Amino acid sequence: MKNVHSEAIDAVHYDSGAAKGVTGRVIIGQADGARNFCMRRFDLAPGGYTPRHTHAWEHEIFFHAGQGEVFSSGEWATVGPGHGVFVPGREEHQIRNAGSDPLTFVCLIPSGVPEI
């Protein structure tokens, strides 16, 4: 069993034009022997956002803390702690922080694609 506080994991920071104020961590992945799917944690600083993009694989997302919005089909929908979001493969999506605290969520992907 692996048991770790997700904030103790080494982080990758994204602050390109396409992404702003994003911190990402792989909580459970290939290195842990997880062969079917991968759990990542993302923290978006106030004003931060993920890229608006599309890819073949799905996301299964659980929102842990903060207030955010998710873009899908031309509209922004509100999300907060306890929300679950399923983004099917090939669907354009983006997440942004809509509050004044960090927006924290876990986002799971199938194995075989880049983990972070």
Q: Name the site residues for a copy of itself (rule: CB under 8 A).
A: 1-7, 27-28, 32-37, 39, 41, 58, 60, 62, 64, 70, 72-73, 77, 79-88, 91, 93, 106, 108, 110
What minimum distance in Å lies between the beta carbon of 104 and a copy of itself? Answer: 8
What minimum distance in Å lies between the beta carbon of 102 and a copy of itself? Answer: 12
- Residues 6+ positions from 33 with CB-CB distance below 8 Å: none
Nearer CB in complex with a copy of itself: 47/88: 88
Q: Using the Cα atoms of residue 104, residue 55, residue 113 and residue 57 in order, give the sign of their dihedral.
A: positive
Nearer CB in complex with a copy of itself: 16/36: 36
Radius of gyration of the chain (CA): 13
CB 38 within 8 A of CB 111: yes
What minimum distance in Å lies between the beta carbon of 68 and a copy of itself? Answer: 11
Instruction: Show the tokens assigned to 28.
Output: 């459970």
